[in-house]
Amino acid sequence: MRIETLWLGRGGQGIVTATYIIANAAVMDGFYAIANPEFGAERRGAPVKAFLTIDKNPIEDLEPIKTPDAVIIFDDKLIDSMRFAIDAVKPGGYVIVNSAKQPEEVRKIVGRNDVYIVVVDAVGIAMKHVGLPVPNGPLAGAFSKVMGFPRLESIKTAFENQLGKAVEENFAATKEAYEVAVVLKPEKVDTSAKPKGVISTTSAFLTGPYELVGWQQVNKGGAVGPGSSLQYLTGGWRIEKPIIDHSKCIMCRKCWLYCPDDAIIEAWREAPGPRGRVFRTKVIDFDYQYCKGCGICAEVCPTGAIQMVREI
Amino acid sequence: MTAQALVPREKKIAQKRIALTGNHAVALAVKMCRPDVIAAYPITPQTPVVEKLAEYVNNGELDAEYIPVESEHSAMSAVIGASAMGARTFTETSSQGLMHMYENLPIAVGLRLPIVMGVAARTISAPINVWGDYSDVMTMRELGWIIYIVQNAQEAFDTIIQAYRVAEDQRVHLPAVVAYDGFWTSHVLQPLDVPEDEEDVIRFSPITRSWVKLDVDKPLQLGAVGTPEWYWEIRWQAVEALRESLKVIEEIDREFDKWFGRSYGLFDTYRLEDAELAIVTYGSIYGLVKKVVNRLREEGVKAGALRLRVIRPWPGDKLRKALDNIEKVFVIDRAINHGGPLIGPMATEVAATLQRPVYNALATIGMRAIDSDMIYEAAVKVAKGLWAPNQTYTIGLRGGYE
Ligand code: SF4
Ligand code: SF4
């Protein structure tokens, strides 16, 4: 037996910790496990991937996982941008998704009928027990449920080893997810079929679209010419999004000053006046393509006009 | 000292003979190359070079920015920054100073900056010893710098001028280091020929400013992150450039010959054509080795000698051609390759190049005195089969090692 898994999420969601915890627990259960995260200089919110392999026998090959048996997705908004990972899951494998959406809707977004689709509102469960939107504990629970290992008690011990704090709270979240995760069976499985794609061994997808050229073409000395982050849509990083109540906004523009991503914009809004005349007024709006949901604007707004609302 | 090295074969430009220490010869060559920025930590061991340069700047003889930094680490940082702005730069260090500079050395390579550095080669601590051997510069072999090792003050002077041309060549754009024996060259006064008209030097080695540099009119960012998708490709260009520099080094050496009447090649050979024993070494002790070759020849031993001059890039093909047919290749190394396959770094590389065992002895470590008799005795042992190839021997170590 050898199970290869890919965990996809964002910096701050505990992806790496989740793989360490499962690996830790699997080792306690007598398996061999290797958790090898792959990340660079990412910050909170940026996409992160981590690999986890569990085997009955010792593992020596740290080969990149190209066609996983399971993909665990920490954020349903990543499904579209990380479709290559879903395509790479072996027929008969598992796609485990953290989502508050209806399981059938998630199945539609995932768009595969030859794999198990597992849906759990991991953020909701985590908020309830831990008080933080960290979906890793619940996803570990969902993983344990569908795989049949590692045992829940081992996960608890792993929490103790790995986190050393909030063990009860995290474990309660794991246990609830174990119980409530919805498993949708595949419609038909042809295990002889090859997956639609393979996961590329470069981590290029983490930092945006660019052409990978040969050494003859790269800029001498690694010089980088002028450019912009126009194509770098940090909006995909969001877990929560800011919304504004214009009736409270005094147009002080503090949010605009503090937004690290230039995602606060001023827009014109037309509103009818008392005698039917239409007035154009300036209002604060958000450029959701670039807003990464950091919440700074809500924090600095002196009137409380901005609220952060959950998006996944 | 050979007369041949000092008398230009065909003087194209007018030259005059003067006497200078190796350090002052380097300082004079640097001055004639008109660097825009010189940064140095003015303390033992490079003091005389940068002191002289400070004097030139102070006298108004050299119009350069002189930055007396607070450590060698900063000296390299400063010239990297200046070079990245398109300035011709110079710095000098050795021994622990080079060690302290270390983390910045590969940056000059990665950014493809044609910095020229002098090193009065010395050993490294501990115990504290600021005397001459090649322990310091040998550590730079894997970093991507062009490395010259010269024999005397004249060659140090000439090689600085060549080094700027090579480093700034479009096909190269890499930093270069010119190393010469600490004390045995750096502090020894020797005659040398220098151009009467300094302009000839800058005419031979004009500042091209053709390298990748920061320019407000053509904005660029240098020193950005090279993620795993990019680092290797960028670094590989430096690997290729260093390989390419081999022919540029030779080309410029030949052109230098036309102008100045002196050339050195990638390495120097002496009575090697029909030799059965070749003594390979580097730096100032080559003169002693040549003397030993003559003595051995008189005694009927077909001996010859080879002096390594350019050790990075490594002139493997040419070395193979020069040494392939010689039965016994005896490398006298002047730095310790601790725990290596052979205890001397150059012996290891020569053996790898020839793909057969070579004879190896260490000498001059920590500036242990050496004379031609000592080299002669060692060479006789090799010639008579008393020393075996692929083993470690020493010349001048008390207690010996045989
Ligand atoms: S949450 Fe607010 S401050 Fe943060 S990126 Fe979005 S708009 Fe800018
Ligand atoms: S900080 Fe608040 S009150 Fe000020 S402009 Fe932004 S939303 Fe309006």
What ipTM was reported for this prediction?
0.82
CB contact under 8 A, B212 and A212: no
Task: Provide the CATH topology of domain A2-203.
Answer: Pyruvate-ferredoxin Oxidoreductase; domain 3 (3.40.920)
Nearest residue of B to residue A211, measured between CA atoms: B229
Residues in chain B: 402
A232 neighbourhood in chain B, CB within 8 Å:
none
Nearest residue of A to residue B233, measured between CA atoms: A215
Overall average pLDDT of the B218-226 stretch: 91
Kindly state the helix (H) or strand (E) to which residue B279 belongs, with its residue range: strand B277-281
Q: With bands split at pLDDT 50, 70 and 90, how would you rate the model's confidence at B4?
A: very low
DSSP B183-219: TTTTT-EEEEEEESSTHHHHHHS-----SS--BTTB-
CB contact under 8 A, A221 and B230: no
**Residue A146 near residue A179 (C-beta atoms within 8 A):** no
Q: With bands split at pLDDT 50, 70 and 90, how would you rate the model's confidence at B29?
A: very high
Residue B11 clears pLDDT 60, i.e. is over it: no
Q: Which is higher by pLDDT, B123 or A76? A: B123
Q: With bands split at pLDDT 50, 70 and 90, how would you rate the model's confidence at B8?
A: very low
B141-187 confidence digits (pLDDT tens):
999 999 999 999 999 999 999 999 999 999 999 999 999 999 999 99
Neighbours of B332 (CB within 10 A): 28
Report yes or no: A1 at the B interface, CB cutoff 8 Å: no
A219 neighbourhood in chain B, CB within 8 Å:
212, 234
| Nearest C-alpha neighbor of A11 from the set A171, A233, A236 | A236
**Residue B304 near residue B370 (C-beta atoms within 8 A):** no
User: Which is the closest atom of ligand 1 to the Cα of A258?
Assistant: 3
Tell me the nearest-neighbour CA distance from B234 into chain A, angstroms. 6
**Residue B289 near residue B279 (C-beta atoms within 8 A):** yes
Query: Is residue A265 in contact with ligand 2, taking CB distance under 6 Å?
Result: no
Overall average pLDDT of the B217-234 stretch: 90
Kindly state the helix (H) or strand (E) to which residue B156 belongs, with its residue range: helix B153-168
Q: Which ligand is nearest to the CA of A265?
A: 1
Query: Is residue A18 in contact with ligand 1, taking CB distance under 6 Å?
Result: no
Where along chain B do its domains lie?
10-260, 267-394
Nearest residue of A to residue B234, measured between CA atoms: A222
User: Which is the closest atom of ligand 1 to the Cα of A287?
Assistant: 7
B51-84 confidence digits (pLDDT tens):
999 999 999 999 999 999 999 999 999 999 999 9
CA atoms within 13 A on the CB side of B393: 22
Report d(CA B300, CA B223) in Å as an integer: 59
CATH number of B10-260: 3.40.50.970
**Residue B236 near residue B243 (C-beta atoms within 8 A):** no
B373-399 confidence digits (pLDDT tens):
999 999 999 999 999 999 989 999 998
H, E, C per residue of A242-276: EEECCCCCCCCCHHHHHCCCCCEEEEEEEEECCCC
| Neighbour order of strands in the sheet with B393-395 | B267-270, B303-308, B277-281, B328-333, B359-363, B393-395
For ligand 2, atom 6, name the residue with the nearest CA.
A255
The answer to whether the Cα torsion of B9, B181, B369, B286 is positive or negative is negative
Report yes or no: A223 at the B interface, CB cutoff 8 Å: yes
- The Cα angle at residue B119 between residues B116 and B121, in degrees rounded to 5: 155
| Nearest C-alpha neighbor of B63 from the set B87, B92, B42, B46 | B87
Report d(CA B391, CA B362) in Å as an integer: 11
Query: Is residue A300 in contact with ligand 1, taking CB distance under 6 Å?
Result: no
Task: Provide the CATH topology of domain A233-310.
Answer: Alpha-Beta Plaits (3.30.70)
**Residue B53 near residue B33 (C-beta atoms within 8 A):** no
- Show the tokens assigned to A141: 């629970």
This prediction's pTM: 0.86
Strand partners, B307: B268, B281
Q: Which ligand is nearest to the CA of A286?
A: 1
CB contact under 8 A, A222 and B234: yes
| Nearest C-alpha neighbor of A252 from the set A279, A282, A286, A272 | A282
**Residue B243 near residue B315 (C-beta atoms within 8 A):** no
The answer to whether the Cα torsion of A79, A85, A90, A93 is positive or negative is negative
| Nearest C-alpha neighbor of B130 from the set B187, B53, B79, B68 | B187
Query: Is residue A35 in contact with ligand 2, taking CB distance under 6 Å?
Result: no
**Residue B282 near residue B141 (C-beta atoms within 8 A):** no
For ligand 2, atom 3, name the residue with the nearest CA.
A249
Q: With bands split at pLDDT 50, 70 and 90, how would you rate the model's confidence at B321?
A: very high
pLDDT of A42: 58
Report yes or no: A43 at the B interface, CB cutoff 8 Å: no
In Å, what is the CA distance from B371 to each residue of B55, B284, B292, B301, B360? 36, 12, 10, 20, 17
Chain B, window 199-238: residues with a beta carbon less than 8 angstroms from a chain A beta carbon:
211-212, 219-230, 232-234, 236-237
Tell me the nearest-neighbour CA distance from B320 into chain A, angstroms. 30
Local confidence pLDDT in tens for the 312 residues of chain A: 899 999 998 877 888 899 999 999 999 999 999 998 876 665 667 778 889 999 999 998 888 889 999 999 998 888 887 888 899 999 999 999 999 999 999 999 999 999 999 999 999 999 999 998 888 899 999 999 999 999 999 999 999 998 888 899 999 999 999 999 999 999 988 878 888 888 877 654 555 566 889 999 999 999 998 887 787 778 877 878 999 999 999 999 999 999 998 999 999 999 888 898 999 999 999 999 999 889 999 999 999 999 999 876
Domain B10-260 shares a fold with domain B267-394: yes
Task: Provide the CATH topology of domain B267-394.
Answer: Rossmann fold (3.40.50)
Pocket test for ligand 2, best of A251, A281, A285, A307 (most atoms within 8 A of CB): A251
* Interchain CB contacts (distance < 8 Å): A and B: 59
CB contact under 8 A, B233 and A40: no
| Nearest C-alpha neighbor of B229 from the set A187, A213, A293, A136 | A213
Strand partners, A72: A7, A96
Of the candidates A207, A213, A220, the beta carbon closest to that of B112 is on A220
Residue B370 clears pLDDT 60, i.e. is over it: yes
- Give residues with Cβ within 8 angstroms of B291, minimum separation 6: B372
A223 neighbourhood in chain B, CB within 8 Å:
212, 220-222
A3-34 confidence digits (pLDDT tens):
999 999 887 788 889 999 999 999 999 999 99
Query: Is residue A246 in contact with ligand 2, taking CB distance under 6 Å?
Result: no
Pocket test for ligand 1, best of A292, A299, A301, A308 (most atoms within 8 A of CB): A292
H, E, C per residue of B66-92: EEECCCHHHHHHHHHHHHHCCCCEEEE
Query: Is residue A293 in contact with ligand 1, taking CB distance under 6 Å?
Result: yes
CA of A299 relative to ligand 2 center, distance in Å: 10
Report yes or no: B243 at the A interface, CB cutoff 8 Å: no
B264-292 confidence digits (pLDDT tens):
999 999 999 999 999 999 999 999 999 99
Report d(CA A286, CA A289) in Å as an integer: 9
**Residue B71 near residue B98 (C-beta atoms within 8 A):** no
pLDDT of B152: 97
CB contact under 8 A, B233 and A207: no
Query: Is residue A303 in contact with ligand 2, taking CB distance under 6 Å?
Result: yes
Nearest residue of A to residue B231, measured between CA atoms: A222
CA atoms within 13 A on the CB side of A146: 30
> What is the percent of chain B with per-residue pLDDT over 90, rounded to a whole number?
92
Where along chain A do its domains lie?
2-203, 233-310
DSSP chain A: -EEEEEEEEETTS-HHHHHHHHHHHHHHTT-EEEEEEE--S--TTSEEEEEEEEESS-----PPPSS-SEEEES-TTHHHHTHHHHHTSPTT-EEEEE-SS-HHHHHHHHT-SSSEEEEE-HHHHHHHHTSS--THHHHHHHHHHHH--S-HHHHHHHHHHHT-SSHHHHHHHHHHHHHH-EEEPPS---TTSPPS----SS-GGGT-------TTTSPGGG-B-S--STT--GGGG-SEEEEE-TTT-----HHHHH-TTS-EEEEEEEEE-TTS-EEEEEEEEE-TTT-----HHHHH-TT--EEEEE--
In Å, what is the CA distance from A129 to each residue of A136, A151, A178, A268? 13, 20, 14, 42
B393 DSSP assignment: E
For ligand 2, atom 2, name the residue with the nearest CA.
A301
Of the candidates A41, A203, A223, the beta carbon closest to that of B212 is on A223
Of the candidates B112, B229, B236, the beta carbon closest to that of A221 is on B112
Summary mean pLDDT of chain B: 94
